[in-house]
């Protein structure tokens, strides 16, 4: 499989190059040059397949021979070593629990896959790769944790001092090994600026590659298609509606790639908070990006979703075509809180605010399409949004084991000032 830029179909690269570069020239996003198609054998066996088996069968169509089959099989077994169960919440509504990974959010799947692909290429070429990530909290921990102990790769995380929650800070600063946390005396934008300055100016003297682990990396997108097949396999039903709580729309784009490969579903439902750019587009046919507004489902506070560019290409720049496959709804914080409380009180299931938006979306769709099964993606463990969950439901969710363990460890960070020289000095000392 080759990869092309969303802004230039004549820019054609290998999987390895697409993963290493992250972003294509002109800020385009990498897309597979052709859509994969899964054969009859795959569909005949799908309902009995495990998640790592699905990952291997689907993933190797994207990776081709750039990672040998036996290595790729191991890679999938390692990446997908936690379950993504489909759990019934009420009669025809099911939760696809994507939060059983090491940082308790769905971004673990993409981060781990990308990490191991980059790790494979680093080792094969006998290179060292250093990943610089600026984080406001959550994404950084999934990325860092994904790379933990991956040979050939180091991660340096920059986070704003005092601006992340205690639990987030622990997740960023207790990894050890090949992960270094820099605590920046500034805000998130400062961290991002330092990283950008390093990419523009730091001379690695060719001793190592400096890269970002950007959320638009194709190696984060591809594995986000695996669990859609697995959801349908667990539902054992090819007429299921699947609702995806969405922000940058990478998760949903993964589902759409699965659908393009032949996965039959009744409909995809994109549920957003009041950052409703895509639901508006599906209704009006006009894409109007807006500044993001703050909500309780804050991982979805995105007014100009980066993956819209990919969806727009997949559906031939035709909103009506997109609307045939994707329904879009948006919900307020008040609706979200109410739903969290109701689902807790009536069904005894604790939603996190993002999953609650997904639940609202699937309920709304099923109201006008009765008689089918509905799945919503539960993208984070409720304990990650403790305060909102407690306020809305009166229940304090138990911390999952992986978070408990990390709360017990002590924080290790290097404090730096909000200036590029501090970051450059650390890079120099460590690697030159």
Ligand X SMILES: *Cc1c(COP(=O)(O)O)cnc(C)c1O
Judged by the rule CB under 6 A, the positions of this chain that interact with ligand X are: 105, 107, 138, 245-251, 299-300, 354, 379-380
| Catalytic hit among 20, 61, 107, 384 | 107
Q: Can you read off the two tokens belonging to residue 114?
A: 């990308």
Three-state SS letters, the chain? CCEEECCEEEEEECHHHHHHHCECHHHCEEEECCCCCCCHHHHHHHHHCCHHHHHHHHHHHHHHHHCCHHHHHHHHHHHCCCCCCEEEEECCEEEEECCCCCCCECHHHHHHHHHHHHHHHHHHCCCCEEEEEECCCHHHHHHHHHHCCCCCEEEEEEEECCCCCHHHHHHHHCCCCCEEEEEEECCHHHHHHHHHHHHHHCCCCCCCEEECCCCCCHHHHCHHHHHHHHHHHHHCCCCCEEEEECCCCHHHHHHHHHHHCCCCCCEEEEEECCCCHHHHHHHHCCCCCCCCCCCCCHHHCCCCCCCHHHHHHHCCCCHHHHHHHEEEEECCHHHHHHHHHHHHHHHCCCCCHHHHHHHHHHHHHHHHCCCCCEEEEECECHHHHHHHHHHHHCCCCCCCHHHHHHHHCCCCCEEEECCHHHHHHHHHHHHC
Nearer to ligand X, 13 or 252 (CB): 252
Q: Which residues pair with 330 in a beta bridge?
A: 272
Nearer to ligand X, 46 or 222 (CB): 222
Q: Which residues pair with 155 in a beta bridge?
A: 131, 179
Nearer to ligand X, 67 or 300 (CB): 300
Residues 14-24 as b/e (b if ≥16 CB within 10 A, e otherwise) read: ebbebbbbbeb
Can 321 be counted among the known catalytic residues?
A: no
Distance CA 337, CA 319 (A): 31
Question: Shortest approach of ligand X to residue 92 CB, angstroms?
Answer: 23
Question: Shortest approach of ligand X to residue 360 CB, angstroms?
Answer: 14
Question: Shortest approach of ligand X to residue 402 CB, angstroms?
Answer: 16
Nearer to ligand X, 132 or 299 (CB): 299
Nearer to ligand X, 55 or 254 (CB): 254
Question: Shortest approach of ligand X to residue 218 CB, angstroms?
Answer: 14
Question: Shortest approach of ligand X to residue 354 CB, angstroms?
Answer: 4
Question: Shortest approach of ligand X to residue 361 CB, angstroms?
Answer: 12
Distance of CA 4 to the CA centre of its chain: 21
Nearer to ligand X, 13 or 282 (CB): 282
Nearer to ligand X, 119 or 305 (CB): 305
Question: Shortest approach of ligand X to residue 381 CB, angstroms?
Answer: 9
Active site residues: 107
């Amino acid at each position: 499989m080759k990869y092309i830029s969303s802004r230039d179909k004549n820019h054609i690269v290998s999987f390895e190059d697409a993963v290493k570069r992250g972003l294509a020239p002109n800020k385009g996003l990498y897309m597979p040059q052709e859509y994969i198609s899964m054969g009859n054998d795959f569909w005949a066996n799908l309902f009995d397949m495990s998640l790592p088996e699905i990952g291997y069968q689907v993933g190797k169509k994207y990776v081709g021979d750039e990672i040998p089959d036996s290595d790729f099989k191991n890679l999938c077994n390692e990446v997908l070593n936690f379950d993504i169960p489909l759990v019934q919440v009420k009669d025809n509504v099911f939760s696809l629990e994507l939060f059983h990974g090491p940082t308790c959010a769905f971004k673990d799947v993409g981060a781990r896959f990308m990490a191991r692909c980059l790790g494979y290429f680093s080792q094969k070429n006998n290179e060292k790769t250093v990943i610089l990530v600026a984080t406001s909290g959550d994404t950084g921990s999934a990325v860092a944790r994904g790379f933990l102990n991956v040979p050939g790769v180091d991660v340096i995380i920059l986070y704003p001092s005092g601006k992340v929650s205690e639990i987030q800070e622990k997740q960023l600063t207790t990894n050890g090994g090949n992960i270094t946390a820099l605590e920046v005396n500034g805000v998130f934008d400062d961290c991002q600026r330092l990283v950008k300055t390093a990419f523009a100016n730091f001379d690695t003297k060719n001793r190592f590659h400096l890269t970002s682990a950007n959320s638009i990396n194709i190696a984060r997108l591809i594995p986000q298609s695996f669990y859609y097949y697995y959801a349908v396999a667990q539902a054992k039903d090819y007429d299921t509606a699947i609702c995806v709580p969405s922000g940058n729309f990478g998760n949903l784009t993964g589902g759409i790639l699965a659908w393009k490969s032949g996965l039959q579903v009744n409909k995809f439902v994109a549920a957003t908070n009041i950052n409703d750019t895509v639901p508006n587009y599906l209704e009006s046919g006009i894409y109007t990006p807006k500044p993001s507004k703050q909500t309780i489902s804050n991982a979805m506070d995105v007014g100009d979703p980066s993956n819209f560019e990919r969806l727009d290409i997949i559906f031939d720049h035709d909103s009506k075509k997109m609307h045939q496959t994707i329904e879009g709804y948006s919900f307020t914080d008040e609706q979200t809180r109410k739903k969290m409380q109701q689902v807790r009180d009536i069904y005894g299931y604790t939603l996190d605010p993002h999953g609650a938006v997904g639940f609202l979306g699937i309920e709304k769709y099923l109201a006008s399409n009765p008689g089918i099964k509905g799945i919503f993606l539960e993208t984070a463990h409720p304990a990650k949004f403790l305060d909102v969950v407690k306020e809305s439901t009166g229940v304090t969710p138990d911390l999952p084991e992986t978070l408990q363990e990390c709360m017990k460890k002590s924080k290790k960070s290097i404090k730096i000032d909000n200036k590029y020289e501090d970051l450059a000095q650390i890079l120099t000392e460590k690697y030159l």
